[in-house]
Structure 1
Amino acid sequence: MKSQECRSIGKWISVLYRQSQIYMNNELRPYGLNSSEYVYLINLAQYEGVNQKYLSDMLIIDDALTTRVMKSLERKGYLIRKKSLEDKRSYNVSLTEKGKEIQPIIMEKLHYWTEILSKGLNEGEINYIIEKLQLMSKNALLITKGEKMEGT
């Protein structure tokens, strides 16, 4: 039974996820940020004035959690939320100067974490792992959205 447990993909993904959260929480604490907030900041860099709902859907994160994080980041001065002109129930969000200044710091932390995780792997192995993780994510999303997978 022990060897079966060690071969659980979910277990090892969970371990990596939790360790990543611990690492990012420790690294971002001096900036008043945590692991649930930085992902929004790095994605907002690509989109100026993006709709909050769109951001939530793109990141595949619950709308209610996104709203809580957006309010927190706004209070901390990292972003601005403005009512959408098209839909008064939704918000468009954009980075403040403080939000833009934290970008390279977050990216540096993420690059270092990637170096740690990929130590001992060559470029081909890294690309293979990323490709397979993307496939597993796609499979997981299909199932959790109630869709049938091909071949099942």
Structure 2
Amino acid sequence: MSDVSARDLNRYLFFLNRRRTQFMAERLNKYGLMGPMYSFLLCLEKNHGISQDFLVSYFSVDKGTVARLCKRLEELGLILRSICDDDRRLYQLALTEQGREMLKVIHQHLNDWSDRLLAGFDQADRQAAFVLLQRMADNIT
């Protein structure tokens, strides 16, 4: 890196991630959602019927944490956990109607975050930012 140091880039990436985490926590804690629980719901929205092991792998979180958070999501009535027919050691996950309703709340807060993050950006700047972020993500996948 020439003009921008890796240190500066990492500082801003960390800052943005931390602020998003705080933003979402402030809005979702009142629903009993904490940490990556809302991310689990977003993942379930796109991947119906996944196992807890999928979440372990996808989010790089340990099995105990995933099991504990999924149990809490079930207690909140947001997901159903059922023993997988193919492998009785695994839990298969599905959103409930209440979980789908919660996703509407989550999406609204994520839209609010995006609006705040991109305030003052015109459409060309927004598109350029998206393309650059997408390229960064492609570099590490």
> Would you call these one fold, judging by a TM-score over 0.5?
yes
- Describe the shift of the 1:56–1:129 C-alpha distance in structure 2 as closer, same or farther (beyond 3 A): farther
Query: 5 Å matches for 1:77-116?
Result: 77-116=77-116
State the SS of the aligned residue for 1:50: coil
8 Å contact from structure 1 (residues 24, 35) kept in 2? no
Moved more, 41-50 or 17-26: 41-50
2: CA distance between counterparts of 1:136 and 1:4?
Answer: 15
Q: Give the Cα–Cα distance (whole angstroms) in 1 for the partners of residues 8 and 94 of structure 2.
A: 40
TM-score by length of 2: 0.83
CA distance in 2: counterparts of 1:135 and 1:29, whole angstroms: 32
* 1:99-133: CA deviation from partner (whole Å, max 9, x where unpaired): 11111111101001000001111222222222222
Q: Which residue of 1 aligns with 2:18?
A: 18
RMSD across aligned positions (CA): 2.4
- Kept after mapping to 1: 8 A contact 2:24/2:109: yes
Aligned to 2:60: 61
The TM-score, its normalising length taken from structure 1, stands at: 0.77
Unaligned runs of 5+ in 2: none
| CA distance in structure 2 between the aligned counterparts of 1:40 and 1:27, rounded to whole angstroms | 16
2:47 is paired with a residue whose SS is coil
Q: Deviations over 1:82-104 (max 9, x none)?
A: 11111122111001222111111
Q: State the identity %.
A: 28
Residue identity matched to 1:61: S
